[in-house]
Amino acid sequence: MDDIIHKLVRRFKTNDPFVIAKGLNIIIRHAEFDKGTRGFYYRRLRRRFIVIDNGLSEEWQRVVCAHELGHDRLHSGLSQFWIDEHTFFNTGKYERQANIFAVKLLTHSTEQELGESEEAYLLRCGVPKQLHNLKM
């Protein structure tokens, strides 16, 4: 995962998930979702899409984009919809991996300052508190 993120940041000269997604020809759309859904990733034929809830703050939209980009890079052959409908597989593992990918991408280009707490560092990088307890 670290190598994938490093190569993406080096290739696109940024850790901005929107710039990276655009560079990878992933189409980003916004839609209104029911409570509990922040976004999703899917492939249709040869096109890839990230759809993000338009009611989210800019910070959360960035996190969701990074998370869904994680699905594209780590789980490209899997479809959440197919897994949910045709298997009894627990998708929690994939969601956790995508969350870790998002945190690592968002923090990639920023060093933790001397004496800075982990929480302050993550907040400075735009990582919401809900993702601070991930074990990476």
DSSP labels for 40-109?
Answer: EEEEETTEEEEEEETTS-HHHHHHHHHHHHHHHHH-TT--HHHHHHH----THHHHHHHHHHHHHHHHTT
Least confident of 41-45, 47-51, 122-126: 41-45
Angstrom distance (rounded) from CA 51 to CA 101:
18
State yes or no: pLDDT of 28 exceeds 90.
yes
Token output for 4: 């994938």
Q: How many CB atoms lie within 10 A of CB 93?
A: 10
| Residue 79: pLDDT band with limits 50, 70, 90 | low
Asked whether 102 and 67 are in contact (CB, 8 A), the reply is yes
